[in-house]
Amino acid sequence: MSALSDPTAADRPDATTTCPLCDRGEYGEQDLYVHLQVNHRKSTLSEALVDALDVAPTAAER
C-alpha cells in the first residue's frame, strides 16, 4: 500500500481525504484502504489506476 501512498502522508498522520472513485466520506489512509477493498470492485480500481497512469493498452489488450 505504501507505494501508492501520498509521499507527504507521513507528515500528516491525521490527514483525511475523500474516496477518489466515489468522492464519499472523509478517510484516513487505513480507512480509505478498507473502503476501497470493501466498496469497489477490483476491475474498477484497476481501471482507475491505469487511467491515472495514462498507460496505453498493449496489442494483446486491443
Res. 6: pLDDT tops 70? no
Return the pLDDT at 27.
92
Can you give the pLDDT at residue 53?
A: 86
Q: What pTM was estimated for this model as a whole?
A: 0.54
What nine digits make up the cell of 30? 487505513
Residue 3 is predicted with a pLDDT of 47
Render 1-62 in DSSP notation, one character per residue: -GGGS-TTGGG-TT--B--TTT--S-B-HHHHHHHHHHHS-HHHHHHHHHHHHTPPPPGGG-
What is the distance between the alpha carbons of residues 17 and 47, in angstroms, rounded to a whole number? 20
**Selected residue with higher pLDDT from 16 and 8:** 16
**pLDDT tens digits, 10-59:** 555 678 899 988 988 899 989 998 998 899 988 888 888 888 887 666 66
